[in-house]
Structure 1
Amino acid sequence: MVGRASVGQAELASRARAGIVTMAAVVAVLYAIQLANMLTFGWLSLTFGIRPRDVTSLPDILTSPLVHDASSWNHLAANTLPLVVFGFLAFLSGLRQFLTAIALSWLASGVGVWLFGGSLFGHSVTVGASGVIFGLFGFLLVRGFFNRSWWQILLAVVLLLAYGSVLLGVLPTVGRGISWQAHLFGLAGGVVAALVMRPQRPHRAIS
């Protein structure tokens, strides 16, 4: 029992270190991209942001979360802390869980924005990592119920108390210039990731 506990603690500590390094690298990349975007007066936003229902903008689903509003650092700064916190906590479950949550949140958010974002009568470009952030949040909120893990459920309650107000961001009334579609579909992607990554329990044979 002691040996298993020690191995489990060592593995968790290893994941924590890897999570810190990973999220630090992610933040460094995002801030480097933001600096380049500001120096080019928003060229990266216009080039790699999602233009809803524009077929030529479909590849931008893969790039838009990496780019933020070039008018100031505020957009990226607002996304940094929740991205680091949620990303780190997701990483503690393992690299596979982390990558699955990121990938499905990223894809669902981008597809949702491309299909339903912006105005039917105007042009808009959507950028930012908030869809992925909402996906990680959704993943952390529901995975404990799928995994039947009491500590993950307790963590979800703590996160809900601390960050629950951000869920208002999925409402169409969230505010001008904010993509509620990215938030809503990103959240859905995170929930799907938790469902996909739930432990597979053996089926009982009937005789």
Structure 2
Amino acid sequence: MNVMQSYSVSRAITISVCMVALLWVIQSAGVLFDLPLGRLGIVPLETGRWYGIFSAPLVHGSYEHLFNNTMPLLVLGSALVYGYPKSRIRVLLACWLASGIGVWVFGRDAVHLGASGVSHGLFFFLFFVAIFRRDGRSVGLMMIAFFLYGGMVMSIFPRDPAISFESHFFGALGGVVSAILWWRRDPKPMLKRYSWETDGGDDPLIGDLWQQKLSPQNSTDAEGDNRHHGKS
């Protein structure tokens, strides 16, 4: 890995760490100062709580809830920032808004909060954009995401009444739609070609001897030798 790629990876991780750190600051402020963070969640079809579409991923019900979302956000967020620099902001906003709007319209009557809808959107984006692009970097990022968080494929369905599967489902939908819309937006990485792959490269020992044909004299002598050996 060259220096530029290493810097890009470190920068992607740094950005993701800063974003997740902000969530921990918000959660800690809520606990220390007894802030009503639940007021920032989504209550479906309640017009006075429409702002929860934007604020719900920023707050969590407990430290345990936030801890469960931390590593997926770090890993998937870093993969998005590193692999898709031109579409990353669009994808993040699409997953964020799709999860929030979907929950506000179709969610159960409860307070929905947490960033798991966003993380599911990032996972499904990484999965489907790799299928569309089929370049080495996209496939590599998808394999890392699937190896670590492949269980997100099942968590978009209802399992635990205390978990908002609606945010998972609509966040995933936002990720799929983002992959369909913007899979061509980021250029594919240039393939490194080696000297032996280039056309016209002759073997340094053989050279172009394989291209030389027998002269008429050599051909006649060869036929004579064949006839001589045939009589014996």
TM-score range (shorter-chain normalised) is 0.7 to 0.9
Which runs of no fewer than 5 residues in structure 1 stay unpaired? 1-5, 201-207
**2:76–2:145 CA contact under 8 A, matched in 1:** no
Q: Deviations over 1:89-110 (max 9, x none)?
A: 1111243322122100000000
- Name the aligned partner's letter for residue 187 of structure 1: A
- Name the aligned partner's letter for residue 180 of structure 2: L
**1:50–1:60 CA contact under 8 A, matched in 2:** yes
Cα separation, 2, equivalents of 1:183 and 1:92: 23
If asked which structure has higher relative contact order (CA below 8 Å, sep 6+), I would say 1
Runs of 4+ in 1 over 6 A off after TM superposition: none
Cα separation, 2, equivalents of 1:139 and 1:163: 13
TM-score (normalised: structure 2): 0.74
Q: Deviations over 1:81-138 (max 9, x none)?
A: 010000001111243322122100000000111011123xxxx211100000000000
Tell me what 2:116 maps to: 130
Cα separation, 2, equivalents of 1:58 and 1:91: 29
- Name the aligned partner's letter for residue 60 of structure 2: H
Cα separation, 2, equivalents of 1:133 and 1:196: 19
User: Within 5 Å, which residues of 2 pair with 1:184-203?
Assistant: 184-199=169-184
TM-score (normalised: structure 1): 0.82
**2:128–2:176 CA contact under 8 A, matched in 1:** yes
User: Within 5 Å, which residues of 2 pair with 1:1-207?
Assistant: 9-41=2-34, 43-45=36-38, 47-69=39-61, 72-119=62-109, 124-172=110-158, 174-199=159-184
Secondary structure of residue in 1 paired with 2:51: helix
**1:12–1:92 CA contact under 8 A, matched in 2:** no
The alpha-carbon distance between structure 1 residues 90 and 153, as it changes in their structure 2 partners (threshold 3 A), is same
Q: Deviations over 1:1-60 (max 9, x none)?
A: xxxxx9xx4543332122122111112110010012223446012x21101011121121
Q: Deviations over 1:146-175 (max 9, x none)?
A: 223244224423432332122221112x20
The alpha-carbon distance between structure 1 residues 158 and 23, as it changes in their structure 2 partners (threshold 3 A), is closer
Which runs of no fewer than 5 residues in structure 2 stay unpaired? 186-232
Percent identity among equivalent residues? 34
Cα separation, 2, equivalents of 1:145 and 1:168: 19
Cα separation, 1, equivalents of 2:179 and 2:3: 24
